[in-house]
Amino acid sequence: MPTSAASSSHPDETAYDRHRLRQWLAGDARADGVSRRRLLALLAATGAAGALPLSAPAHAAGDTIVKPLPPEKFVRRGTNAETRWEALRGTGHHTPNDLFFVRNHTATPALRAHDWRLRLWGSGLRGGPAEDRAIEFGYDDLRRLPSATRTAFVECAGNGRSGYTTQQGETVGGTAWTQGAIGVARWRGVRLSTVLHRAGLSPYAVDVQPRGLDAEYVSGGENLGRVRRPLPLSKALHDVLLAYEMNGEPLPPDHGHPVRVLVPSWVGIASVKWVGDIEVSRQPLFSPWNTAFYRLFGPAHPEGGSAPLTRQTLKSAFELASGATFPAGRSQVLRGRSWSGAGAVARVDVSTDGGASWRPARLDERPRPDTWTRWSVDWRPRTRGAAQLLARATDTAGRTQPDVSVFNTEGYLFDAVVRHEVTVV
């Protein structure tokens, strides 16, 4: 399998990275806003502190995310934080920034908008020999370009992964998310197409590969470099944003400050945070994030894995804690949300008796693609004891959530109907 390792370790690139890094470190030192530990991690990321072993964890678990993670809102999972669904109750369509899940391969870097540059480079830009084709945009340059706003979810490909184990008895790799590795925000930024055209897009370009400025990712003792994943040009030109605002605020540090890529309807890994450069290529690009990770492996999938994951699957969740309790004989409104990467939600059916009987949920807002739809049902539990609540969505592409999700070794795209355990008291 070809890789882009040669082009991404281009000497100019490395020098550029180190140069930028020194500027941030100087800035942060003045502002006194960065821990020594984070500083060392940043240095390690570009090899400027060669003696620091990359395999050593650069951060304690509590140090990888900047924002507060109150336990009533989040469950910590390693370097990540999962949103609790019960905390979404009453929050409206858009997930407040302070409640949005965080998925960090390493740690949130300390970047400052006025020092930040975005570099576009590669054989897919017009003019000059390949190594000279590069153009930079500063933060203010982006803010001056026409803006676009989109409501879209960012959802980890592994969201719901623990269902493979708890409902299907299967062992899968990766973070054992329940259902809270998703959030919906109103993203504002510049269309990637606008920036690509300004950069001088070649008619021969086929792929673009955004790369984050967070530390290099070490997995199984191997340094995989900085988080990066290619996108076909067709998607890049269609609806992708370089987002600098999230729900009307400057992008928060944990969500990619100052600028992230936002790839609507696709697996979260496509939405690269803290983007620092974008390779534009006439050849298909590869990185560990579209070869080793984010493909489906397993007996039901092709030898060598499926095609790289693109769109998210179809899911539903209740705005309830696992094991929530309800008083018998009293009317309740059960609320939840369903979403699909393949279109809008068409209908949602709910069962409050473990799947024996079903009724349609009320859709409480107009279903739209790229985001969830809130719904509700009335419930008056009669019998005391354990009960299972189920919600099954159908989308406008004609897919309905199955009872069982097809196994894959990394536990991606769990789409089965979730059995939500509650107790009637």
Ligand X SMILES: Nc1nc2c(c(=O)[nH]1)N[C@H]1C(S)=C(S)[C@@H](COP(=O)(O)O)O[C@H]1N2
8 Å CB contact between 112 and 24: yes
Query: Shortest Cβ distance from residue 153 to ligand X (Å)?
Result: 10
Q: Which residues lie near ligand X (CB under 6 A)?
A: 100-105, 154, 156, 212, 214, 227, 255, 268-269, 271-274
- Which position has the token pair 């998703």? 182
Q: Which is nearer to ligand X, 103 or 133 (CB)?
A: 103
CA atoms within 13 A on the CB side of 346: 11
Residue nearest to ligand X according to CB distances in the complex: 212
Residue 101: contacted member of Mo ion, ligand X, none (CB under 5 to 8 Å, by partner type): ligand X
Q: Select 272 or 346, whichever has its Cβ closest to ligand X.
A: 272
* Separation CA 413–CA 406 (nearest Å): 9
* Residue 153, both tokens: 């979810």
Q: How far from each other are the two terminal CA atoms of the chain, in whole angstroms?
A: 58
CA gap 293, 270 in Å, rounded: 12
Shortest separation between residue 74's beta carbon and ligand X, angstroms: 12
Looking at the Cβ atoms of 269 and 417, the one nearer to ligand X is 269
Residue 208: name its binding partner from Mo ion, ligand X, none (Cβ under 5 to 8 Å by kind): none
Q: What residues from 261 to 300 belong to the interface with Mo ion (CB under 5 A)?
A: 268-269
105 binds, among ligand X, Mo ion, none (CB under 5 to 8 A by kind): ligand X
Closest to Mo ion by CB, 124 or 183: 183
Answer yes or no: are the C-beta atoms of 80 and 103 closer than 8 Å. yes
Q: How far is the CB of 403 from ligand X (least distance, A)?
A: 26
Question: From ligand X, Mo ion, none, which one binds at residue 271 (CB under 5 to 8 Å depending on kind)?
Answer: ligand X
CA 391 to each of CA 73, 294, 316, 383: distance values in angstroms, whole numbers, following the listed order: 23, 26, 6, 20
CA angle 209, 116, 45 (to 5 degrees): 65
CB of 172 to ligand X, least distance (A): 16
| CB of 291 or CB of 396, closer to ligand X | 291
| Stretch 82-111 residues interacting with Mo ion (CB under 5 A) | 103
212 binding partner (options ligand X, Mo ion, none; Cβ < 5 to 8 Å by kind): ligand X
Which of residues 111 and 361 has its CB atom nearest to ligand X in the complex? 111
Half-sphere exposure of residue 25: CA atoms within 13 angstroms, side-chain side: 19
**Rounded Cα–Cα distance for residues 257 and 233 (Å):** 24
Instruction: Pick between residue 16 and residue 101 the one whose CB is nearest to Mo ion.
Output: 101
What CA–CA distance (Å, rounded) separates 379 from 139?
A: 51
Minimum separation from the CB atom of position 412 to ligand X (A)? 11
- The interface region with Mo ion, picked from 2-10, 120-128, 148-156, 371-379 by CB under 5 A, is 148-156
- Min dist. Cβ of residue 292 to ligand X (A): 14
156 sits near Mo ion (criterion: CB under 5 A): yes
Longest Cα–Cα distance in the chain: 75
Judged by beta carbon distances under 5 to 8 A according to partner kind, the member of Mo ion, ligand X, none in contact with residue 8 is none
Strand extents, DSSP E, 199-356: 207-212, 218-219, 222-223, 231-232, 241-246, 249-250, 260-262, 275-281, 314-318, 325-326, 332-340, 345-351
Q: Where on the chain is the footprint of Mo ion (CB under 5 A)?
A: 103, 156, 268-269
